[in-house]
């Protein structure tokens, strides 16, 4: 079975399982989406949402976080991992947005990735979920499942993103990356399935008997 054939199976099962797919992170606007994605590094979306639900009603614009300052931001997000590093990034990216972009989040990869604390994956999420631009952000779940489904060699997340973009039509990317994340959380888990028990793995590899080892992101 080639990748195009597997892609059809994957799309069929995911569309049936998740006809409507929720966005895991809660946010009020593009700026708070950017902040939430930054906070989600090495942290669960549930934990991020629990923290930001007490922040965003009052603080939801770059100028709000500039006015707060680093120390106050630290106190607001202290329940999140590596909060001091993240508070520093949030403060300086907010400052950059105010000074350089009139408080608006830029709409290009190049400009987003130049913001403090913002890497390619964060920029991809903002481009996809914030601006509706076709993107395929690759997180740990997508990286793991792409390997189990034989769609990439798992060298790194950059390679995984390139491989998935070649296999799946662009019109599916924004919904598909969310579907794969949810499927990885609920059906093809890190410490479960191992490439042999979930519906997609069984359909793509009906004769597979041995667990698949995957490379971490």
Q: In this predicted model, what pLDDT tens digit does every residue of 113-162 receive, in sequence order?
A: 999 999 999 999 999 999 999 999 999 899 999 999 999 998 899 999 99
Total of domains in the chain:
2
Pair (15, 92) in one structural domain: no
**Contact residues for 154 (Cβ-Cβ < 8 A; gap 6+):** 143, 146, 147, 160, 214, 215
Please give the sequence-ordered ranges of beta strands (E in DSSP) within the chain, or none if there are none.
none
pLDDT at 86: 97
| Average pLDDT over the chain, rounded to an integer | 95
Tokens of 147: 């390997």
Would you state the pLDDT for residue 75?
97
Local structure of 52: helix, strand or coil:
helix
Last residue of a domain, one of 104, 130, 156: 130
Q: Is residue 86 within 8 Å of residue 41, measured between CB atoms?
A: yes
The pLDDT score that the predictor gives to residue 155 is 84
DSSP string, 143-165: HHHHHHTTS---S-HHHHHHHHH
Report yes or no: 91 and 66 within 8 Å, Cβ to Cβ.
Answer: yes
Say which CATH number the domain at 154 has: 1.10.1670.10
pLDDT per position as a tens digit, 71-121: 999 999 999 989 999 999 999 999 999 999 999 999 999 999 999 999 999
pLDDT at position 216 is: 83
Are 111 and 72 contained in the same domain? yes
**Which sign does the torsion angle of CA 172, 174, 175, 179 carry?**
positive
Residues 42 and 80 in one domain: yes
Residue where one domain finishes, among candidates 101, 130, 159: 130
Distance of CA 201 to the CA centre of its chain: 22
pLDDT above 80 for 217 = no
Same domain? 91 vs 154: no
Clarify whether residues 36 and 81 are in a common domain: yes
- Does a structural domain hold residue 215? no
211 lies in some domain: no
35 and 61, same domain (yes or no):
yes
State residue 45's pLDDT score: 94
- CATH number of the domain encompassing residue 79: 1.10.340.30
| pTM metric for this prediction | 0.91
Supply the pLDDT for residue 24: 93
Q: Are 137 and 121 in contact (CB under 8 A)?
A: yes
C-alpha 216/C-alpha 204 separation (Å) is 22
Final residue of a structural domain among 130, 148, 180: 130
Q: Does pLDDT of 42 surpass 90?
A: no
Domain range holding 166?
Answer: 3-21+136-204
Q: Based on the fold, state whether residues 34 and 109 are members of the same structural domain.
A: yes
Q: pLDDT per residue over 164-198, tens digit each?
A: 999 999 999 999 999 999 999 999 999 899 999 99
Is 65 buried (19+), middle (13-18) or exposed (0-12) by CB count in 10 A? buried
Same domain, 55 and 12: no
Give me the mean pLDDT over the 40-45 stretch.
91
The answer to whether residues 126 and 141 belong to one domain is no
List the catalytic residues. 121, 139
The mean pLDDT of 210-217, rounded to a whole number, is: 87
Tokens (6 digits) for 69: 């300052």
Q: Is the per-residue pLDDT at 30 higher than 80? A: yes
Query: Is residue 214 one of the residues assigned to a domain?
Result: no
């Amino acid at each position: 079975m080639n990748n195009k054939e597997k892609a059809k199976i994957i799309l069929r099962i995911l569309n049936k399982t998740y006809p409507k797919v929720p966005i895991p992170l809660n946010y009020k606007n593009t700026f708070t989406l950017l902040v939430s994605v930054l906070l989600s590094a090495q942290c669960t979306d549930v934990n991020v949402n629990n923290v930001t639900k007490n922040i965003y009603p009052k603080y939801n614009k770059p100028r709000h976080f500039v006015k707060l300052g680093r120390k106050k931001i630290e106190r607001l997000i202290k329940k999140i991992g590596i909060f001091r590093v993240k508070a520093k990034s949030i403060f300086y990216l907010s400052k950059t947005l105010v000074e350089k972009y009139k408080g608006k989040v830029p709409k290009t990869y190049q400009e987003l990735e130049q913001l403090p604390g913002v890497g390619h994956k964060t920029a991809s999420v903002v481009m996809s979920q914030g601006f509706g631009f076709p993107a395929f952000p690759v997180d740990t779940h997508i990286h793991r499942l792409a390997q189990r489904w034989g769609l990439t060699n798992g060298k790194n997340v950059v390679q995984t993103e390139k491989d998935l973009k070649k296999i799946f039509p662009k019109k599916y990317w924004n919904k598909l990356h969310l579907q794969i994340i949810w499927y990885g959380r609920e059906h093809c888990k890190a410490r479960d399935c191992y490439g042999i028990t979930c519906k997609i793995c069984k359909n793509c590899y009906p004769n597979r008997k041995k667990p698949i080892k995957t490379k971490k992101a």
